[in-house]
Amino acid sequence: MARVAAPVAAWALTRVGLLLLVLGMVTLPGPDVTSDVEVIYRGWYEVLRTGTFPVDDVSWQYPPGAALPVLSPGLLPFLGYASAFYAMACAADAAVLALLLRAGGGAGRSRAGAWFWVAGVPLLGPTAYARYDVMVTAVAVAALLAAARRPAVAGALAGFGAMLKVWPVLVLLGAARGRATRLSWGAAAGTAAGVALLAAVAMPGAFDFVTAQRDRGTEVESLGALVFHVGRHHGWEGTVELHYGSMEFLGPGVGLVSDLALGLSVVAMGWLVLWRLRAREFTATTGCEAAFAGALLFTTTSRVISPQYLLWLVGLAAVCLTLRAARMALPAGLVLAATGVTLAEFPVWFGEVVGSTGFGIALLAFRNGLLVVATVVACRRLWRSTAAPAGPGSGEAAVPRQRTAREDDLLTW
């Protein structure tokens, strides 16, 4: 009981701090991150209640299932919209903790995942509760934890999550070949198709978000944005403007860099397909490790690295850490550090980032550098543990010796 009480107490203490931040009782320097809830989400809520998606708002760039978290504050009519939204976000946060605590008990398990979640979410500051990503992460974590014993349930949750924000489908990357893959991928496709059909029939504009996503540019916090941050000190004549709901670079060369980012995402997809084809064994840790590595790949190569994306990585890393045999401790630690730096980058010194000052560039380069290293290490470990060729003299079906985490660290560095 004491092992559960300690993380629960730490969670309660840190979440009081988060609620004080989003409710405005304590403030941080920089822009007010709660405006998305109080203005944008509230505006979408009013439109959605009329029976249509907010198709005239280019900042609506989400699959149709996103309507559910936006509408969820209606379940608490005795609270104002913003307060109800924060309460729902806190409830999703608590659900993740409960899932991780349960998953961390028993032989070969660890509650390090629960502690990781307890620490990681508040490191992101008020953004953690001022976006609906914590709700999506709860669905993804539930799907990943269900995958080992209930692949059909995992698939249904992943398909539902994909209709909330696409990325939860990544939790199925490491499904074992055969029955587990058929059940989970089939359930995901069926659930996603069912939700999509229901949304399309019930409300007009369900898939207009595709156009808004296609037309996005290079957001100022992305990896590719570093080119323009530095370029502004060497004669580049572009600007930073609010575009499609985020601060983006506009000007010469932006289209090229955006296309290169999309190309890197395609390469990332190609690597994952190659890994899937080459993987020789699927262990109890493969599912969560593949999901974590996949999410890192797509986050790092994206044209947009919004602060809330770090919640996805924290949640998936936490699931990895519930298994003592998992090999993702180092990349998880790098993600934890990147989450803390993200709070400094947004909102605390966001003005420095938008202004491309030397400090802002250094802060952003450090955060993105941590994500790049975490991605390389996670992918390397995933490949070596599942797809690396067997040693000389061993048969095709031979199982390679599992290195210790210490050996992996030495090999990586």
Indicate the DSSP class of residue 401. Answer: P
Extract the tokens encoding 147: 């995958």
Q: Is the peptide bond preceding residue 54 cis, with omega within 30 degrees of 0? A: no
Estimate the crossing angle of helix 112-123 against helix 2-22, to 10 degrees: 10
**Number of Cα atoms under 13 Å in the Cβ half of residue 154:** 27
pLDDT confidence bin for 16, thresholds 50/70/90: very high
Q: What integer pLDDT is reported at residue 171 of this predicted model?
A: 97
pLDDT in tens, 247-301: 999 999 999 999 999 999 999 999 999 999 999 989 999 999 999 999 999 999 9
Q: What integer pLDDT is reported at residue 212 of this predicted model?
A: 56
| For residue 396, pLDDT beyond 60 | no
| For residue 395, pLDDT beyond 50 | no
- Amino acid letter, 352: E
pLDDT confidence bin for 202, thresholds 50/70/90: confident
Which of 323, 384, 264 is closest to 145 using CA atoms? 323
Q: What integer pLDDT is reported at residue 201 of this predicted model?
A: 87
Q: What integer pLDDT is reported at residue 206 of this predicted model?
A: 76
pLDDT confidence bin for 245, thresholds 50/70/90: confident
pLDDT in tens, 102-155: 999 989 999 999 999 999 999 999 999 999 999 999 999 999 999 989 999 999
Yes or no: say if 296 and 375 are a contact pair by the CB < 8 Å rule.
yes
Helices (H), 124-216: 133-146, 151-165, 179-202, 209-214
pLDDT confidence bin for 397, thresholds 50/70/90: very low
What are the E-state strand segments in 309-396?
none
pLDDT in tens, 17-33: 999 999 999 999 999 99
CA separation for the pair 95, 98 (Å, rounded): 5
* Pairwise pLDDT comparison (394 vs 67), residue with the higher score: 67
Yes or no: say if 328 and 378 are a contact pair by the CB < 8 Å rule.
yes
| For residue 229, pLDDT beyond 70 | yes
The neighbour count for residue 215, using CB atoms within 10 Å, is 12
Q: Is the peptide bond preceding residue 347 cis, with omega within 30 degrees of 0? A: yes
